[in-house]
């Protein structure tokens, strides 16, 4: 029977800050950027603490303030059985549904799908469920500590995806063993955020869009390019 093995000192865990974010669920209005983030196995809240909060904090700085970024954590059990079957089914479906919801409600936002560990499995699974139009709306997909390392992220353009795997992270090698490198991804927050900002400036959401959505996507991308011009560092 497979199980998830933790081999690390307790000091490796990050501090718990901003572990729950519900901007989309609470109807906070459309922002220049929207981030859907799925936390890792056993993490608390709906954002976790290791990769999610540092990542969205970095994006807030680069976007000129957190008020310009809507953040929604994906609520799902984040338990070991979910990880072992390739990612929680319900959480994957919820993430895919939220992509469509954001596209319908905020067509000019820059949409980012992101996840850490099992949350990365959810990103892969959700991306596989997206329509062509929803896939084209995803400006960036970012995964930290990807258990599905090496696999495409659904129909999201390869140039719009970034997989970050630390040296020595056995989760990225397909093994269910947690070592210290798997808990280090807060250090990659700026790297990931800069990738997202670069895609935003390039109009990533317009890549591969269908004829019915290209005009709106291009209009939104043009406006976003102006914003990104000032905020990339």
Q: Which residue of the set 88, 139, 182, 184 is catalytic?
A: 182
pLDDT of residue 128: 98
- pTM score above 0.85: no
Query: What is the total count of domains within the chain?
Result: 1
| Domain membership flag for residue 203 | yes
| Domain membership flag for residue 8 | no
| Domain membership flag for residue 196 | yes
| Domain membership flag for residue 5 | no
In tens, the pLDDT along 102-126 reads: 999 999 999 999 999 999 999 999 9
pLDDT bracket for residue 82 (50, 70, 90): very high
Q: In the predicted model, is pLDDT for residue 232 greater than 80?
A: no
Q: Which residue of the set 117, 135, 139, 184 is catalytic?
A: 117
CB 189 within 8 A of CB 57: yes
CATH number at residue 38: 3.40.50.1820
| Domain membership flag for residue 216 | yes
CB 143 within 8 A of CB 115: yes
Angle between helix 52-62 and helix 189-201 axes, rounded to 10 deg: 50
For residue 46, the Cα-to-chain-centroid distance in whole angstroms is 12
| Domain membership flag for residue 205 | yes
Q: Which structural domain range is residue 182 located in?
A: 16-231
**Smallest Cα–Cα separation from 207: which of 150, 164, 158, 162?**
158
Q: Which residue of the set 88, 134, 146, 169 is catalytic?
A: 169
The number of CA neighbours under 13 Å toward the Cβ of 181 is 13
Least confident of 70-79, 154-163, 206-215: 206-215
Told to judge if 182 belongs to the known catalytic residues of this protein, a careful annotator would answer yes
CB 156 within 8 A of CB 141: yes
pLDDT bracket for residue 226 (50, 70, 90): very low
Average pLDDT value over all residues in the chain: 86
| Domain membership flag for residue 42 | yes
| Domain membership flag for residue 2 | no
Q: How far apart are CA 110 and CA 80, in angstroms?
A: 32
The number of CA neighbours under 13 Å toward the Cβ of 4 is 20
In tens, the pLDDT along 174-185 reads: 999 999 999 999
CB 74 within 8 A of CB 102: no
Pairing mode of beta strands 110-116, 33-38? parallel
């Amino acid at each position: 029977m497979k199980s998830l093995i933790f081999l690390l000192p307790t000091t490796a865990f990050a501090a718990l800050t901003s572990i729950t974010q519900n901007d989309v669920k609470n109807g906070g209005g459309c922002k220049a950027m929207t981030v859907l983030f799925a936390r890792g196995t056993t993490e608390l809240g709906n954002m976790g603490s290791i990769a999610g909060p540092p990542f969205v904090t970095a994006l807030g700085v680069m976007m000129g303030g957190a008020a310009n970024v809507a953040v929604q954590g994906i609520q799902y059990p984040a338990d070991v059985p979910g990880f072992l079957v390739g990612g929680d089914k319900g959480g994957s479906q919820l993430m895919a549904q939220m992509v469509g919801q954001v596209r319908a409600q905020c067509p000019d936002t820059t949409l980012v799908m992101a996840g850490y560990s099992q949350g990365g499995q959810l990103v892969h699974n959700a991306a596989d469920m997206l329509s062509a139009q929803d896939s084209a709306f995803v400006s960036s997909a970012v995964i930290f500590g990807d258990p599905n390392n090496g696999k495409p992220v659904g129909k999201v353009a390869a140039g719009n995806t970034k997989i970050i795997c630390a040296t020595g992270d056995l989760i990225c090698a397909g093994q269910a063993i947690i070592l210290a490198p798997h808990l280090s991804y807060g250090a990659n927050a700026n790297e990931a955020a800069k990738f997202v900002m670069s895609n935003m400036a390039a109009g990533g959401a317009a890549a591969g869009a269908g004829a019915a959505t290209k005009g709106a996507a291009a209009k939104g991308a043009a406006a976003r390019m102006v914003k990104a011009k000032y905020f990339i560092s």
